[in-house]
Amino acid sequence: MARASQASTAELLRAQGVRVTSQRLEVLEELRRERDDVTAQMLWRRLRERGSLTGLATVYRALSLLNEKGVIDALSHHGTELCYRLCNDTHHHHMVCSSCHRVVEVEQCGLEPWLADVASRHDFVATEHKIEITGICGSCR
Protein backbone atom coordinates (compact mmCIF):
# COMPACT_ATOMS: atom_id res chain seq x y z
CA MET A 1 0.00 0.00 0.00
CA ALA A 2 2.78 2.35 0.88
CA ARG A 3 4.39 0.97 -2.26
CA ALA A 4 1.43 1.67 -4.46
CA SER A 5 1.08 5.09 -2.96
CA GLN A 6 4.72 5.90 -3.59
CA ALA A 7 4.43 4.71 -7.16
CA SER A 8 1.60 7.10 -7.89
CA THR A 9 3.32 9.88 -6.01
CA ALA A 10 6.31 9.46 -8.26
CA GLU A 11 3.99 9.57 -11.26
CA LEU A 12 2.67 12.85 -10.01
CA LEU A 13 6.17 14.31 -10.07
CA ARG A 14 7.09 12.83 -13.41
CA ALA A 15 3.92 14.19 -14.91
CA GLN A 16 5.08 17.66 -13.97
CA GLY A 17 8.42 17.16 -15.59
CA VAL A 18 10.39 17.52 -12.38
CA ARG A 19 12.92 15.13 -10.95
CA VAL A 20 11.76 12.40 -8.66
CA THR A 21 13.73 12.60 -5.44
CA SER A 22 13.21 10.84 -2.15
CA GLN A 23 12.71 14.18 -0.41
CA ARG A 24 9.92 15.27 -2.73
CA LEU A 25 8.28 11.90 -2.33
CA GLU A 26 8.48 12.26 1.44
CA VAL A 27 6.85 15.66 1.30
CA LEU A 28 4.04 14.44 -0.92
CA GLU A 29 3.53 11.30 1.15
CA GLU A 30 3.29 13.40 4.27
CA LEU A 31 0.78 15.73 2.66
CA ARG A 32 -1.22 12.70 1.67
CA ARG A 33 -1.29 11.65 5.29
CA GLU A 34 -2.49 15.02 6.52
CA ARG A 35 -6.19 15.49 6.82
CA ASP A 36 -5.83 19.23 7.16
CA ASP A 37 -3.48 21.82 5.80
CA VAL A 38 -0.01 22.27 7.24
CA THR A 39 2.70 24.88 7.23
CA ALA A 40 6.18 24.18 5.94
CA GLN A 41 7.44 24.13 9.50
CA MET A 42 4.81 21.68 10.70
CA LEU A 43 5.42 19.37 7.78
CA TRP A 44 9.15 19.41 8.41
CA ARG A 45 8.72 18.63 12.11
CA ARG A 46 6.50 15.66 11.31
CA LEU A 47 9.02 14.31 8.86
CA ARG A 48 11.71 14.65 11.51
CA GLU A 49 9.58 12.76 14.01
CA ARG A 50 9.35 9.96 11.51
CA GLY A 51 13.12 9.85 11.30
CA SER A 52 13.51 11.74 8.06
CA LEU A 53 16.73 13.68 7.57
CA THR A 54 15.28 16.03 4.98
CA GLY A 55 16.32 19.63 5.54
CA LEU A 56 13.94 22.47 6.19
CA ALA A 57 15.10 24.42 3.16
CA THR A 58 14.32 21.41 1.01
CA VAL A 59 10.80 21.26 2.38
CA TYR A 60 10.33 24.92 1.52
CA ARG A 61 11.72 24.37 -1.96
CA ALA A 62 9.56 21.30 -2.53
CA LEU A 63 6.40 23.02 -1.36
CA SER A 64 6.88 26.06 -3.51
CA LEU A 65 7.74 23.95 -6.54
CA LEU A 66 4.70 21.77 -6.05
CA ASN A 67 2.54 24.81 -5.56
CA GLU A 68 3.82 26.37 -8.78
CA LYS A 69 3.07 23.16 -10.62
CA GLY A 70 -0.43 23.14 -9.22
CA VAL A 71 -0.01 19.86 -7.39
CA ILE A 72 -0.75 21.38 -4.03
CA ASP A 73 -2.80 24.36 -2.90
CA ALA A 74 -1.66 27.18 -0.66
CA LEU A 75 -4.23 28.57 1.74
CA SER A 76 -3.72 31.29 4.30
CA HIS A 77 -6.66 31.28 6.61
CA HIS A 78 -5.01 31.62 9.99
CA GLY A 79 -2.52 34.38 10.54
CA THR A 80 0.53 35.04 8.53
CA GLU A 81 1.96 31.71 7.47
CA LEU A 82 1.03 29.85 4.35
CA CYS A 83 -0.57 26.45 4.69
CA TYR A 84 -0.31 23.76 2.08
CA ARG A 85 -2.60 20.99 1.12
CA LEU A 86 -2.54 18.20 -1.43
CA CYS A 87 -5.42 18.66 -3.80
CA ASN A 88 -7.26 16.98 -6.51
CA ASP A 89 -6.92 18.84 -9.74
CA THR A 90 -10.44 19.96 -10.34
CA HIS A 91 -11.62 23.40 -9.40
CA HIS A 92 -12.84 23.44 -5.84
CA HIS A 93 -12.93 25.38 -2.60
CA HIS A 94 -12.35 24.73 1.05
CA MET A 95 -14.54 24.79 4.06
CA VAL A 96 -12.80 24.85 7.42
CA CYS A 97 -14.34 23.96 10.77
CA SER A 98 -13.56 26.76 13.19
CA SER A 99 -13.62 24.39 16.12
CA CYS A 100 -11.56 21.37 15.00
CA HIS A 101 -9.87 22.86 11.92
CA ARG A 102 -11.04 20.04 9.74
CA VAL A 103 -11.01 20.92 6.06
CA VAL A 104 -13.43 19.58 3.50
CA GLU A 105 -13.31 20.20 -0.19
CA VAL A 106 -16.30 21.68 -1.92
CA GLU A 107 -16.34 20.16 -5.36
CA GLN A 108 -19.15 21.76 -7.23
CA CYS A 109 -18.52 25.43 -7.43
CA GLY A 110 -21.28 26.70 -9.68
CA LEU A 111 -20.49 30.31 -8.99
CA GLU A 112 -19.56 31.34 -12.50
CA PRO A 113 -22.81 33.14 -13.26
CA TRP A 114 -22.64 35.02 -9.98
CA LEU A 115 -19.02 35.92 -10.60
CA ALA A 116 -19.57 37.13 -14.12
CA ASP A 117 -22.37 39.31 -12.90
CA VAL A 118 -20.42 40.82 -10.01
CA ALA A 119 -17.34 41.40 -12.14
CA SER A 120 -19.11 43.12 -14.96
CA ARG A 121 -20.88 45.36 -12.52
CA HIS A 122 -17.44 46.74 -11.59
CA ASP A 123 -16.07 46.67 -15.11
CA PHE A 124 -13.89 43.68 -14.37
CA VAL A 125 -13.41 40.35 -16.07
CA ALA A 126 -13.06 37.68 -13.41
CA THR A 127 -10.26 35.25 -14.08
CA GLU A 128 -9.85 33.46 -10.81
CA HIS A 129 -11.55 33.22 -7.49
CA LYS A 130 -10.97 31.67 -4.14
CA ILE A 131 -13.53 31.10 -1.46
CA GLU A 132 -12.86 30.17 2.09
CA ILE A 133 -15.82 29.18 4.10
CA THR A 134 -15.63 28.91 7.85
CA GLY A 135 -18.23 26.97 9.74
CA ILE A 136 -18.91 24.29 12.29
CA CYS A 137 -18.81 20.67 11.25
CA GLY A 138 -21.31 18.04 12.27
CA SER A 139 -19.20 16.39 14.95
CA CYS A 140 -18.34 19.68 16.63
CA ARG A 141 -21.95 20.64 16.90
Residues near a second copy (CB under 8 A) are 76, 79-82, 95, 97-98, 104, 106, 108, 110-111, 114-115, 118-119, 122-138, 141
Residue whose CB is less far from DNA, 15 or 106: 15
Q: Which of 16, 28, 8, 134 is nearest to 75 (CA)?
A: 134
> What is the rounded CA–CA span in Å between residue 141 and residue 57?
40
Looking at the DSSP assignment, which residues form a beta bridge with residue 23?
none
User: Is 81 or 107 the residue whose CB approaches DNA more closely?
Assistant: 81
Q: Under a CB-based contact definition with an 8 Å cutoff, are residues 140 and 104 in contact?
A: no
Q: Which residues bind DNA (CB under 7 A)?
A: 14, 18-24, 39-41, 53-58, 60-62, 64, 80-82
